């Protein structure tokens, strides 16, 4: 089984040149540091068995970074993504270091070996052996930039799976999206994450509810937004933008599994949501939010009669217009627009000019008529 991933490294040509000239004084950001670490293994091979598992494709491993810089200068492309960095990680105790490095080289050659300068390193310092790939973002053949699209992502996974099958290794049959790196590091260090909170509250809701509507109400009372439509059920807290699928928390949490395990602790009725707080939370913050409680029994009856007697406001007397009345009103508006005379708005100067021209035309017409009726003067 091999998991793969690939991400871009932002920066510029100056970052690379500064690192080459004086790596000890270069202080890049985290992504750049991971990228530079791959090249430092050539000089400081603590993780690669004295440099035995460092290989280069289309360049020399001792001068790989310098050759990448020359390629960027040749095609005058020094901005944007400066490189791509990826890994291929294997299941613990499934491959030997030689097999791991050999598979990594075959994967790199098939994916990027025809156009890009690549460094492949195999790390032996973890339980799971893994390969790192670093390659130039600019092709030394035609100067084109590498585009990591969804089709390339699928091709990387397919090529890796095929190579694993050729070597008799296991393959991930149903891959799912990996969590973000900060979330992964928190889970690895044992810190509570939102996924832990989701799973704990969801487990309470399943065990304390005898049907799906009460389970949804339980989660809503806890402050969640839920979406139980479609094939994948989802939930989230209001402060997060995206929903989380329930089967992301645990692959067994399908709608059928949830329906089969409802009410394991609710023998005598549905449980009400219990709002729990961290023991380290200050007391004044525990009363900031309270779940909505429905008005019940005598108080609800009191509000009802206050409303009926007019003590509480009943809102507005507005009554919606019927469709037939709306049709007649539209006809009335059309007739009103036709019979209403709206004189044109013109300036006084323009109106006077028009009046003058009209009077002049009338006078000239009268003069022509008089000339025809009067006898000619001798």
- Write down the pLDDT at residue 281: 64
- Write down the pLDDT at residue 112: 92
- What percent of the chain has pLDDT above 70? 69
What tokens does 367 get? 């003069």
CATH number of the domain where residue 155 is located: 3.30.930.30
**pLDDT of 293 strictly over 70:** no
The last residue of one of the domains, among 260, 281, 302, is 281
- Write down the pLDDT at residue 139: 92
When mean pLDDT is compared over 4-13, 69-78, 149-158, the highest value belongs to: 149-158
**89 & 124 share domain:** yes
- Write down the pLDDT at residue 25: 52
- How many residues are given for the chain? 378
CA dihedral for 179, 183, 189, 194, sign (positive or negative): negative
Q: Distance (Å, rounded) from C-alpha 191 to C-alpha 250? A: 18
**236 & 117 share domain:** no
Q: Distance (Å, rounded) from C-alpha 189 to C-alpha 75? A: 45
Q: Distance (Å, rounded) from C-alpha 242 to C-alpha 253? A: 19
Q: Of 27, 19, 154, 146, nearest to 83 (Cα)? A: 146
Domain count, the chain: 2
**197 & 158 share domain:** no
**131 & 74 share domain:** yes
Integer CA distances (angstroms), 260 to 195, 209, 210, 245, 252, in order: 22, 12, 10, 18, 12
- Write down the pLDDT at residue 47: 58
**DSSP characters over 51-119:** TTTEEEESS-GGGHHHHHHHHHHHHT--SSEEEEEEEEEE-TTSS-HHHHHHHHHHHHHHHHTTT--EE
**29 & 110 share domain:** yes
**DSSP characters over 278-333:** -TTS-GGGTTS--------HHHHHHHHHHHHTTSS-------PPPHHHHHHHHHHH
**141 & 277 share domain:** no
**pLDDT of 43 strictly over 50:** no
**127 & 211 share domain:** no
- Write down the pLDDT at residue 18: 65
**pLDDT of 152 strictly over 70:** yes
The last residue of one of the domains, among 166, 194, 221, is 166
- What percent of the chain has pLDDT above 90? 6
Do the domain assignments include residue 344? Answer: no
Give the pLDDT band (50/70/90) at residue 111.
Answer: very high
- Write down the pLDDT at residue 1: 60
**237 & 134 share domain:** no
Strand pairing report for 130-136 and 118-123? antiparallel
- pLDDT, tens digit, 9 for 90 and up, residues 353-363: 777 777 777 77
Do the domain assignments include residue 46? Answer: yes
Q: Distance (Å, rounded) from C-alpha 332 to C-alpha 211? A: 55
- Write down the pLDDT at residue 250: 83
Tell me how crowded residue 66 is: count the other CB atoms within 10 A of its CB.
15
**pLDDT of 370 strictly over 80:** no
Give the pLDDT band (50/70/90) at residue 41.
Answer: low
- Write down the pLDDT at residue 106: 93
Measured at the alpha carbon of residue 92, what is the angle toward residues 86 and 95, in degrees to the nearest 5?
80
Do the domain assignments include residue 52? Answer: yes
Top pLDDT among 272 and 72 is at 72
Reduce the DSSP state of residue 233 to 3 states and report it.
coil
- Write down the pLDDT at residue 230: 84
What tokens does 38 get? 């791959």
- pLDDT, tens digit, 9 for 90 and up, residues 115-139: 999 988 888 877 788 888 888 889 9
**189 & 155 share domain:** no
Reduce the DSSP state of residue 196 to 3 states and report it.
helix
Do the domain assignments include residue 277? Answer: yes
- Write down the pLDDT at residue 361: 75
Do the domain assignments include residue 305? Answer: no
Residue 189 sits in which domain range? 184-281
**75 & 213 share domain:** no
- pLDDT, tens digit, 9 for 90 and up, residues 234-251: 998 888 888 888 888 888
Do the domain assignments include residue 340? Answer: no
**155 & 224 share domain:** no
The last residue of one of the domains, among 238, 264, 281, is 281
Do the domain assignments include residue 116? Answer: yes
Top pLDDT among 153 and 178 is at 153
- Write down the pLDDT at residue 49: 61
CB 208 within 8 A of CB 217: no
- Write down the pLDDT at residue 92: 84
**92 & 196 share domain:** no
Q: Of 10, 1, 2, 7, nearest to 180 (Cα)? A: 7
Do the domain assignments include residue 349? Answer: no
Tell me how crowded residue 179 is: count the other CB atoms within 10 A of its CB.
14
Q: Average model confidence (pLDDT) for the chain?
A: 78
């Amino acid at each position: 089984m091999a998991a793969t991933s690939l991400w871009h490294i932002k920066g510029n040509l100056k970052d690379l040149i500064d690192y080459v000239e004086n790596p000890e004084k270069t202080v890049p950001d985290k992504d750049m540091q991971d990228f530079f670490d791959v090249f430092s293994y050539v000089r400081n091979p603590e993780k690669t068995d004295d440099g035995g598992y460092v290989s280069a494709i289309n360049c020399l491993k001792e001068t790989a970074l310098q050759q990448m810089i020359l390629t960027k200068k040749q095609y005058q492309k020094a901005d944007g993504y400066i490189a791509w960095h990826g890994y291929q990680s294997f299941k613990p105790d499934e491959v030997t270091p030689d097999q791991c490095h050999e598979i990594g080289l075959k994967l790199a050659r098939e994916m990027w070996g025809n156009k890009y300068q690549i460094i492949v390193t195999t790390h032996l310092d973890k339980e799971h052996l893994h390969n790192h790939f670093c390659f130039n973002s600019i092709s030394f053949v035609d100067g084109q930039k590498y585009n990591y699209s969804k089709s390339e992502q699928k091709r990387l996974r397919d090529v890796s799976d095929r190579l694993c099958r050729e070597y008799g290794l296991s393959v991930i049959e149903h891959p799912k999206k990996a969590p973000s790196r900060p979330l992964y590091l928190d889970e690895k260090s044992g810190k509570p994450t939102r996924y832990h909170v989701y799973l704990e509250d969801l487990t309470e809701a399943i065990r304390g509810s005898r049907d799906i509507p009460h389970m949804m109400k339980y989660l809503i009372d806890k402050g969640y937004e839920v979406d139980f439509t479609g094939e994948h059920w989802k939930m989230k807290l209001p402060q997060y933008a995206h929903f989380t699928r329930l089967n992301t928390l645990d692959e067994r949490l399908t709608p059928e599994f949830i329906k089969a395990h409802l009410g394991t602790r609710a023998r005598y009725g549905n449980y009400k949501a219990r709002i729990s707080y961290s023991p380290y939370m200050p007391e004044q913050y525990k009363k900031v939010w309270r779940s909505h409680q429905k008005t019940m029994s005598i108080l609800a009856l009191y509000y009802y009669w206050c409303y009926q007697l007019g003590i509480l406001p009943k809102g507005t007397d507005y009554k919606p217009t019927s469709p037939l009345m709306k049709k007649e009103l539209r006809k009335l508006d059309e007739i009103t627009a036709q019979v209403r005379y709206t004189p044109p708005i013109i300036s006084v100067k323009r109106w006077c000019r028009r009046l003058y021209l009209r009077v002049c035309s009338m006078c000239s017409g009268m003069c022509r008529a008089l000339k025809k009726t009067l006898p000619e003067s001798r």
